[in-house]
């Protein structure tokens, strides 16, 4: 599903590192990370707990900054941007799918999905149209007026995916998107992610589950903050029927 390898990468990391300093103790969360993600890729970041997966995803999502190294997004260096600049790019370029859904409990499904567009200052008519289309795309249009508490876990994650999609981001970042779901709902969300990829979405997903990593075209394996291996699936979209 990815574009030609000669195309400029959507994301490029060079010698990226992240060190946390607490009480004079240095924790090296990431070290010497080199990574390219092309438009249309589906990449899984895998590894044991504490290996740096979520730290790497936070940096990719501009929720955190690296200690050293280069991060280019759409050809622009973004590792040294201030908080306001990072927030603006996150709102327009990056869609987040979290393990814990992160829906706002006193907003309806529709209002949750619409919220990122409100922050952009988009006209209400366009917000409504985009939000409804995003909900229909994940099969949740009929639940638009419900509150998150009235939905199952699988339905809440579908709403979270719609919220990530509504701004038409350059990339979807998914942090253990099946972590709070039972196996049936987890499989359904992974099928939804695969459908999004088939339809052109670029996805980078953190997972500790090898079954779900196999859904991706490429799997980057981390251990102790370093890339130790990379797999390219012989049949991208494993399990496609």
- Domains plus CATH for the chain? 11-232 (3.40.50.300)
Categorize the per-residue pLDDT at 210 as very low, low, confident or very high, splitting at 50, 70 and 90.
confident
Task: Look at phi and psi of residue 87 and say left if phi exceeds 0, alpha if psi is from -120 to 50, else beta.
Answer: alpha
For residue 25, the cross-strand partners are 22
pLDDT tens digits for 149-201? 999 999 999 999 999 999 999 999 999 999 999 999 999 999 999 999 999 99
> What mean pLDDT is reported for the chain?
91
User: 44-72: b or e for each residue (b if 16 or more CB lie within 10 Å)?
Assistant: bbbbeeebbbbbbbbbbbbbbbbbebebb
Categorize the per-residue pLDDT at 240 as very low, low, confident or very high, splitting at 50, 70 and 90.
very low
Smallest CA-to-CA distance from 62 within 3, 13, 105, 9 is with 13
Enter the pTM of the model: 0.88
- As a whole-number percent, the residues of the chain with pLDDT over 70 amount to 94
């Amino acid at each position: 599903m990815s574009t030609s390898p000669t195309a400029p990468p959507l994301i490029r990391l060079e010698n990226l590192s992240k060190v946390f300093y607490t009480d004079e103790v240095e924790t090296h969360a990431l070290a010497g990370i080199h990574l390219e993600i092309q438009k249309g890729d589906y990449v899984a970041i895998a590894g044991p707990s504490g290996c740096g997966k979520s730290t790497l995803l936070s940096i990719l999502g501009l929720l955190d900054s690296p200690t050293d190294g280069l991060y280019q997004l759409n050809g622009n260096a973004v590792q040294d941007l201030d908080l306001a600049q990072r927030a603006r790019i996150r709102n327009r370029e990056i869609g987040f799918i979290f393990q814990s859904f992160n829906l706002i409990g006193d907003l309806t499904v529709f209002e949750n999905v619409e919220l990122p567009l409100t922050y952009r200052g988009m006209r209400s008519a366009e917000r409504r149209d985009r939000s409804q289309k995003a909900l229909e795309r994940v099969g949740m249009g009929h639940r638009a007026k419900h509150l998150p508490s009235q939905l199952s876990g699988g339905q809440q994650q579908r709403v979270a995916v719609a919220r990530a999609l509504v701004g038409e981001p350059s990339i979807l970042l998914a942090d253990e998107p099946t972590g709070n779901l039972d196996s049936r709902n987890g499989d359904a969300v992974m099928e939804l992610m695969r459908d999004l990829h088939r339809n052109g979405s670029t996805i980078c997903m953190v997972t500790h589950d090898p079954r779900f990593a196999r859904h991706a075209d490429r799997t980057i394996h981390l251990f102790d903050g370093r890339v130790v291996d990379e797999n390219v699936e012989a049949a991208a979209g494993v399990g496609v029927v």
